[in-house]
Structure 1
């Protein structure tokens, strides 16, 4: 591809005709003005203390300050995010930012980073206050735990949580628009939380950080190819799915998407030619098939979030159930043939009860699948009996834990 053509593609992506709100028209097309973000229910300036003198972190379009939020007798460390808007006269950008903030304030999901309120006095627009995540982003969190014997289960758990958070956003007609490892924080309890949805693209034409370069720098590796195809291309639910597939690569293999490409220009050239992300070493077959379903060149052909969750929860259920069963000592050492039977039983039972995988995902670790003698009897059961045994055992434990509905009988 000629250099000028590549330059045109780069410029086209930088200058989208309307980066605006990433809310779909059903949610963002309200002709009435959004509620004022400065109302007292959002403003917690008087409750925030000990704001750091300088930013403690820098993002592509924002600065992060640390502070303490005094909530009655309780103090919590919080992050204050300041978007670097070019100037106070850019009322269009500020109005859009206010609309996004008003939507974010109403969201509530364990896998979406909650907004605590607004802090005034650090910039042209209020700083957005959210709880501080000491663990950092998902890449840092996994790097620290790379030697954990259950790292595979930890990764799958985080993938499921990310997909659940994105499903929640999509159900509320919100397109994230910037899914990548840096925008997935991990809370103190190890829970993945999506952050920065909508804001990076929103500020692409209004932020100081983008006046010297491209708004796709560092982000193009997660962007769907159709975003490079035409002028005015907009992020969609489908482009979020593509980015999710790229994030699965990042989580599983600790490499960036298009890891064989050194520069962003090489990545953009590959995307403009509809080149799929290359498969990293040590990527499991089943997970790679799911990545390819997410990263289809045709947006309508990409996997739904329901499909993504089903496959991730299926993988998680197999790994977790095996760990739970072998922990009792009944299957130590565990022959591959027995593990294969466990998987067969899971698949059979899931056909009878499609909610099995999601319910197993929420099952507390304290649950166990019985003593060694019970597990030895399991080996000799038929396929249908094995499915019924797993199904009944799971239902018993989910019910006793206070979750799940009564499954259909096998």
Structure 2
């Protein structure tokens, strides 16, 4: 199969006057890296712990001191499927290069791999590679879930007070601040008229300063930009992560409803559950996760967790109340990402967590 060049593939959408298209062209012209300048790590062997369809290859570039990652998407068979993948790749890169925020992973460049990697789509995205991995990997390597609530509120005659704990900020700080980072990143994405479409802990990475950044824009699209290179895809089912789906995204039968900013907020609540108390959505009352049972709970319309999942009189409980707001069944009644950010800010202030 003869592959279109990068530029000719981009012309498939035909939206030459769209700002997303213009920025995409600028990226192609300014940030394309010559493959001969790429020094692949581990002989180009992809990382084994990355979930999803993409493969990540680590590398170094002469112009950068830090290690980078190259996101490689395996090709699928069939001409129509290949065209769909081309459009999906264009959309991801067009959305990604449009974003510029401390809490979204920057797109550093693009590269066309040589013939030894022709099992992958072309071009491939280049980004800063962080050894911490995603946010759940970071948390597992730094703190145990039960350490989170060592600092609690206690009651006396004058009301509720936080127990003074020398490790308070060391224990709470990373998770609280990283959840705050994720919410700031999502609020920014939404402010740009974009739906991320696949918010989950696996799509949040931690940079060397412990700041959280949203990544993986393979499911993202721009709202109200029909026909645009970054506009909504024709099909959504392959872009969704079942465990984080809001009720309105149920894919029963032939239904394939589009992801929305409201469904992003639902998924954000699921991320709060995982990060703050170490539980997957739809776990049982003891925190055990069994996929079959979790899917049954989800299909029955249960919430990802109840208030009891968040220990009382703790900052985890305050964050849990925010998560419960994210899980309001009617998407029109859910808070916006900016609303969630404001609610988290108030929760942190009630525990004297500085922002």
Same fold, TM exceeding 0.5?
yes
Hey, what does 1:97 align to over in structure 2? Answer: 89
Task: Choose 197-206 or 235-244, whichever is displaced more.
Answer: 197-206
Deviation sequence 1:4-34 (CA, Å, 0-9, x none): xxxxxxxxxxxxxxxxxxxxxxxx9947684
Say whether the 8 Å CA contact 2:58–2:68 is kept in structure 1: yes
Are residues 1:77 and 2:67 paired?
yes
The one of 229, 254, 265 equivalent to 1:241 is 265
The one of 269, 277, 285 equivalent to 1:253 is 277
Task: Choose 143-152 or 237-246, whichever is displaced more.
Answer: 143-152
State the SS of the aligned residue for 2:65: strand
The one of 46, 67, 70 equivalent to 1:55 is 46
Hey, what does 1:393 align to over in structure 2? Answer: none
What is the distance in 1 between the residues matched to 2:261 and 2:289?
28
Hey, what does 1:178 align to over in structure 2? Answer: 198
What is the distance in 1 between the residues matched to 2:350 and 2:142?
21
- In the TM superposition, residue 203 of structure 1 has moved relative to its aligned partner by 9.7
Are residues 1:269 and 2:296 paired?
yes
TM-score by length of 2: 0.72
What is the distance in 1 between the residues matched to 2:345 and 2:297?
32
TM-score by length of 1: 0.63
Hey, what does 1:296 align to over in structure 2? Answer: 328
What is the distance in 1 between the residues matched to 2:100 and 2:89?
19
The one of 107, 113, 129 equivalent to 2:105 is 113
Say whether the 8 Å CA contact 1:153–1:320 is kept in structure 2: no
- In the TM superposition, residue 138 of structure 1 has moved relative to its aligned partner by 0.6
Instruction: Sort the Cα spacing of 1:87 and 1:105 in 2 relative to 1 into closer, same or farther, 3 A.
Output: farther
Hey, what does 1:191 align to over in structure 2? Answer: 211
Say whether the 8 Å CA contact 1:220–1:267 is kept in structure 2: no
What is the distance in 2 between the residues matched to 1:112 and 1:232?
27
- In the TM superposition, residue 186 of structure 1 has moved relative to its aligned partner by 0.2
Hey, what does 1:391 align to over in structure 2? Answer: none
- In the TM superposition, residue 248 of structure 1 has moved relative to its aligned partner by 0.4
Give the structure with higher Rg (CA).
1
State the SS of the aligned residue for 1:188: coil
What is the distance in 2 between the residues matched to 1:237 and 1:291?
15
State the SS of the aligned residue for 2:138: helix
- In the TM superposition, residue 37 of structure 1 has moved relative to its aligned partner by 8.3
Deviation sequence 1:241-293 (CA, Å, 0-9, x none): 00001110001011111122744443333223221122325364322221111
Hey, what does 1:144 align to over in structure 2? Answer: 141
Instruction: Sort the Cα spacing of 1:238 and 1:199 in 2 relative to 1 into closer, same or farther, 3 A.
Output: closer
- In the TM superposition, residue 163 of structure 1 has moved relative to its aligned partner by 0.6
State the SS of the aligned residue for 1:199: coil
Say whether the 8 Å CA contact 2:41–2:57 is kept in structure 1: yes
Hey, what does 1:220 align to over in structure 2? Answer: 242
Task: Choose 50-59 or 136-145, whichever is displaced more.
Answer: 50-59
Instruction: Sort the Cα spacing of 1:268 and 1:116 in 2 relative to 1 into closer, same or farther, 3 A.
Output: same
Hey, what does 1:385 align to over in structure 2? Answer: none
Hey, what does 2:188 align to over in structure 1? Answer: 168
Instruction: Sort the Cα spacing of 1:229 and 1:199 in 2 relative to 1 into closer, same or farther, 3 A.
Output: closer
What is the distance in 2 between the residues matched to 1:114 and 1:264?
33
Hey, what does 2:256 align to over in structure 1? Answer: 232
Instruction: Sort the Cα spacing of 1:229 and 1:67 in 2 relative to 1 into closer, same or farther, 3 A.
Output: closer
Task: Choose 41-50 or 107-116, whichever is displaced more.
Answer: 41-50
Say whether the 8 Å CA contact 1:225–1:274 is kept in structure 2: yes
What is the distance in 1 between the residues matched to 2:262 and 2:17?
28
Hey, what does 1:350 align to over in structure 2? Answer: none
The one of 36, 39, 57 equivalent to 2:28 is 39
Deviation sequence 1:202-226 (CA, Å, 0-9, x none): 99979xxx9xxx876xx32211111
Say whether the 8 Å CA contact 1:111–1:164 is kept in structure 2: yes
Name structure 2 gaps, 5 residues minimum: 1-12, 148-166, 222-231
